[in-house]
């Protein structure tokens, strides 16, 4: 039995189709390579200094100076976090206020300082002592704000309240919430 050329071609095409189908359905597919997500470097990485000072001067005169055990600077937000700080605020009359606390956050753009943890400010001119759990220094306004139970002692006068707002000398103050004044008393 002799097959014609057309029959050979038909058998060859059929075998090719069957072989191609078997290869297609039985081949091993490699899983796609895992995609690695590249994380951009955090440009706002915190920079930490120990035993540092920050000083602001204007027209050659110190406006304020802050020393801290630890300073953590965040370049992304322009804020410095100060741990166990001691600050000196220089007044226009030549006197100063010595300020201490556990923690503060300095906004390097506005120069405002948010403070927390046993805040104590002592005026060198009259010995006035201000204490509060939380306080804020508004640099542009040159005003103090205290909250969460404040005490201001000047001589034999003790002022207590929930919140306080005062000028940089702590001479003109506004006490809000449970305000009390004790004249001739002793600090407790």
Q: Which CATH class, in words, describes the domain spanning 47-147? A: mainly beta
Amino acid 133: pLDDT: 95
Q: What mean pLDDT do residues 150-167 have?
A: 90
Query: Is the pLDDT reported for residue 186 higher than 50?
Result: yes
Average pLDDT, the chain: 83
Query: Is the pLDDT reported for residue 67 higher than 60?
Result: yes
Q: What mean pLDDT do residues 117-135 have?
A: 90
Q: What mean pLDDT do residues 80-87 have?
A: 91
Q: Which two tokens stand for residue 75?
A: 């370049």
Q: What mean pLDDT do residues 8-14 have?
A: 80
Amino acid 35: pLDDT: 65
Render pLDDT for 86-106 as a digit per residue (tens, 0 to 9).
988 888 888 888 989 999 998
The H or E element spanning position 15 is helix 5-26
- φ/ψ (deg, to 5) at 124: -75, -20
Rg (CA), the chain: 37
Query: Is the pLDDT reported for residue 41 higher than 70?
Result: no
Q: Are strands 61-74 and 96-107 parallel, antiparallel or unpaired?
A: unpaired
Residues above pLDDT 70, as percent of the chain: 88
**Opening angle at CA 134, ends 136 and 183, nearest 5:** 95
Amino acid 43: pLDDT: 47
Amino acid 30: pLDDT: 63
- Residue 171 CA, chain-centre distance (Å), reads 31
Q: Which has the closest alpha carbon to 130: 112, 114, 116, 144?
A: 144
Contact 130, 170 (CB under 8 A): yes
Phi-psi region of 102 (alpha: psi -120 to 50; beta: other; left: phi over 0): alpha
Q: Which two tokens stand for residue 51?
A: 């035993």
């Amino acid at each position: 039995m002799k097959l014609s050329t057309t029959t050979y071609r038909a058998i060859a095409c059929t075998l090719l189709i069957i072989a191609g189908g078997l290869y297609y359905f039985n081949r091993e597919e490699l899983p796609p390579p895992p995609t690695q997500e590249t994380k951009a470097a955090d440009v706002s990485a915190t920079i930490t200094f120990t035993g540092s000072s920050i000083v602001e001067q204007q027209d050659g005169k110190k406006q304020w100076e802050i020393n801290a055990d630890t300073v953590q600077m965040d370049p992304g937000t322009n804020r410095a976090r100060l741990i166990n700080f001691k600050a000196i605020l220089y007044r226009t009359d030549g006197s100063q206020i010595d300020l201490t606390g556990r923690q503060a956050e300095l906004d390097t753009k506005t120069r405002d300082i948010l403070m927390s943890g046993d805040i104590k400010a002592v005026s060198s001119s009259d010995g006035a002592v201000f204490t509060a759990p939380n306080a804020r220094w508004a640099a542009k306004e040159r005003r103090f704000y205290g909250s969460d139970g404040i005490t201001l002692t000047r001589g034999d006068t003790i002022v207590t309240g929930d919140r306080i707002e005062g000028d940089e000398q702590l001479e003109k103050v506004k006490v809000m919430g449970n305000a009390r004044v004790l004249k001739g008393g002793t600090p407790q």
